[in-house]
Chains A and B, each alone.
Chain A
């Protein structure tokens, strides 16, 4: 099942943290296992990185807190060593941190160096993208990570009912297009040629942290964009190159896109106005953020739509 939602403000920043939380919470019945958010705050010169050092549901043996503290210090130490000037490092949970820093080098060596710390996974890295994901429903995750005051231009989110891989943070959406900055994806569906694409992408040097088929979509699109294609062209190619059923949302620093497979097998409801575009697996999610009466529609099969902030 799973539920996906996205919102983009075309007239300047909005209250996206609270809005996407309300959208996801209204679709809790589509997947209560985990919830995730990809939010775009005001772009900055600094890089912002979200990491996790452990999973909340793993066995907390002797010295768990001390180990996390040690790994946290190791992250800070390594950032300094690779030449990043740390601005703020802040932990919403003892296993999840947000770091802002100044850094001009390549992102991949930095992200790889961070993930070399035991248990560490870089959830997002970019100049405005922040990915927050954790177990349980959207409201409890948003409260734990204090997303209520988050303002920005666009966001996507996901409520997950795990079918193909574990219930943990690594298996939760959205997925960052490691190591391409500011690109993330949420997906509702199953990819049947996942293993083929995973091997193909791994051969070109990409790393995958989970067994979740959705993880490849972000990297697949980002790699094409890195090769010079526009987001829209990359998404159109994905309709022929990805097999299975899917409706996925993709976000970059300044745009939000949606693509549907050729059977239109997964639902999506769309609301478009001059001020904002909101889209979700169910109309209740759109109505959770728009008070007045609205007209909505379903995109058809093989449709690719992109909006810019």
Chain B
């Protein structure tokens, strides 16, 4: 039977890399620039892949992203990508290796499930920043929306401004550094990891408690802020899991009967 739809669910299954970038040799490898204004999401991603995987370009600049969704996703190589504008939802997701700078704003779920690398956003970000982050640094110089680092399993999220509610919801490992204020329900149901806050905390979530700052925390905070050129706030507070909900060894009632 002939399949009349694209089994991968792609909107443009027949899309080809448009080959519009200008490539020139640089000091550490080839550099490329292209304009995304008239390209579709898939064409832009195909062009990025072509440049990075096939042409071996190490530094790509993407102009006029126009807040399109799902740009610069799934890049699994060390390279530098500069996005000269704003991204929509799900930007820079599922990446492993690249250093990405977004000169504008990003929508929801930036750097979702990132394995390693760096994503720096110069302006604000939407909700769910660094959702399920596994490694690397996600830096937002402006404010972020709600639920930053939901289900985060590693890496560091650094926010220059304020963060919304439920920041660090279900945080499992990794760290978050919020220079400004955070909304209600901070660290709700977090398993592990640490959240550092420079400003006011509206309220703590379930099983999130304040902890003493250690000298290694101070060293870590100073180092991370120095790398990204952020001014330290007046002081830091550290929040961790209270471990009241750690019931991993407890048996379910049905299992307990079996054991007895």
Contacts and interface: CB of A to CB of B under 8 A. Distances in A.
Interface stretch (B85-93, B215-223, B227-235, B244-252): B85-93
A287 B124 CA distance: 16
Interface string B36-76: 00000000000000000000000000000011110000000
Contact of B146 (A293, A296, A297, A301): A301
Nearest to B108: A267
Contact of A301 (B105, B107, B126, B183): B183
A287 B85 CA distance: 11
B164 to A, nearest CB: 5
B67 A283 contact: yes
A283 B164 contact: no
Given A264-B145, A282-B89, A293-B85, A300 B105 contact: no
B145 A283 contact: no
B183 A283 contact: no
Given A282-B67, A282-B107, A287-B67, A298 B126 contact: yes
Nearest to A262: B165
A296 B86 contact: yes
Given A264-B164, A283-B107, A284-B66, A296 B127 contact: no
A295 B123 CA distance: 8
Contact of B127 (A286, A287, A295, A298): A298
A267 B164 contact: no
Interface string B100-132: 000011011000000000000001101100000
A263 interface: yes
A284 B183 CA distance: 27
Contacts of B86: 283, 287, 296
A298 B145 contact: yes
Contact of A295 (B105, B107, B183): B105
Given A283-B105, A283-B107, A298 B67 contact: no
B163 to A, nearest CB: 9
Interface in B159-174: 164-166
Contacts of B146: 263-264, 300-301
B183 A267 contact: no
A283 B184 CA distance: 26
Contact of B66 (A263, A287, A300): A287
A301 B164 contact: yes
Interface string A212-249: 00000000000000000000000000000000000000
Interface of A: 263-264, 267, 269, 282-284, 286-287, 293, 295-298, 300-301
9 contacts: A264-B127, A267-B107, A282-B107, A295-B124, A297-B143, A298-B126, A301-B146, A301-B165, A301-B183
